[in-house]
Amino acid sequence: MLSPRWQGSVMGIRTEHPIVVHRRRDRPDIDDRRLAAEVKAGSVTRIVAGSFARTDEWQALTPMNRHFTRVLEVADRARGPVVLMLNSAAAVHGMDRIGAWPDRVDVRIPRASGGRSSGAVRRHALGFDDVELMEWRGHLVTTPAQTALDLAAASQFRDAVIAIDQALWERRKGGALTDVDALRALVDATWRRGFRRVPAAIAFGTPLSDSVRESEGRVLLDRLGFPRPVLQKKFVLPNGRIARPDYYFEDFDHAAEFDGTGKYFDPDLLAGRTPQQALLEEKDRSDALRRMVSALSRWRTPAHLKPTLLYDILTADGLPSRLPRPRGH
């Protein structure tokens, strides 16, 4: 007997397509030969069978929104209600990740059905006992808390922390998706095999990590032996603006930041500025912050891919580690 933990619906959950999608079934006048030629030429991208988008619009989407678009297309053509889970539920809730998003949409089905996957769908025959579900566009999706736990249970520690941080992120538009108490209560109520690593990820999680790279950086800092930082500490710059560095090591008056490139290229983050203007503003901000602390370290993605580089950057800037320099990657 199925006994999902029913949570109803949540205001603000994403439901609309981020781009215009053209569907073969809605356009009987489409010339299939011409469409195939456009796909081959690269001007049109196939999302799932029978659904297409202009390639320039598709490529302008974030990887999460590309997967979200696939989820919408699969849901809209399903013959009955589907139950979304894992990365597909994360895309619905706006919970980001590091690495490539899957091409297939993850759905949960009854245990007796078998887990056969085909086309754009990956089926998980896990049943619905003690799973928190909520309504979504005539379908069901695991709640943010359930989604975070499912992802954490299926991931290594870094990605488990990222999933937890994304669910707890308090500066998200509309606020945090859940809280630590809800996560812990759900673990206690639905404990199962694979949850062994989840409590540690919850304990390490924070509502203050503003991006997946910041979450990844926290894990790396801990593994490299650096002190636990204060996150998003507020500094009032001489011009009155507020600076909140990603990390601040109080005992050493040392601020540190992951310098992502999105702020220089993402139209939403640019907010009408040119990339050059954004770069100059960021330089002025960093210079002002540097004059207020004893040390400021900054790094980009390569330092996460090669932790020895991150170790060298921080120790060269005067931040001590309790561990020796790691060997290799």
- Per-residue confidence band for 31, with pLDDT thresholds at 50, 70 and 90: confident
pLDDT, position 2:
38
pLDDT, position 49:
87
- Using alpha carbons only, how large is the chain's radius of gyration in Å? 22
pLDDT, position 1:
30
Cα separation, 146 vs 84, whole angstroms: 11
pLDDT, position 83:
97
| 3-class state of residue 105 by DSSP | strand
- Per-residue confidence band for 197, with pLDDT thresholds at 50, 70 and 90: confident
Domain segments of the chain as ranges: 5-18+61-204, 212-316
pLDDT, position 39:
87
- Per-residue confidence band for 267, with pLDDT thresholds at 50, 70 and 90: low
170-181: average pLDDT = 95
Q: Residue 200: is its pLDDT beyond 60?
A: yes
Mean pLDDT (the chain) is 89
pLDDT, position 4:
57
pLDDT, position 157:
95
Contact 286, 296 (CB under 8 A): yes
DSSP line for 131-144:
-EEEEETTEEEE-H
Percent above pLDDT 70 for the chain:
89
- Per-residue confidence band for 328, with pLDDT thresholds at 50, 70 and 90: low
Dump pLDDT digits (tens) for 83-117.
999 999 999 999 999 999 999 999 999 987 765 67
Dump pLDDT digits (tens) for 278-322.
678 788 888 899 999 999 999 999 999 999 999 999 999 999 999
- Per-residue confidence band for 9, with pLDDT thresholds at 50, 70 and 90: very low
- Per-residue confidence band for 262, with pLDDT thresholds at 50, 70 and 90: low
Q: How many residues in total does the chain contain?
A: 329
pLDDT, position 218:
97
Cα separation, 83 vs 138, whole angstroms: 10
Strands (E) located in 80-194: 83-84, 105-109, 121-125, 132-136, 139-142
Q: Residue 26: is its pLDDT beyond 80?
A: no
Half-sphere CA count of 278, side-chain side, radius 13 A: 17
Dump pLDDT digits (tens) for 134-150.
999 999 999 999 999 99
* 167-181 residues labelled b (16+ CB within 10 A) or e (exposed): bbbeebeeebbbebe
pLDDT, position 209:
96
Q: Residue 131: is its pLDDT beyond 60?
A: yes
- For residue 112, give both structure tokens: 């007796």
Percent above pLDDT 90 for the chain:
68
Cα separation, 59 vs 19, whole angstroms: 11
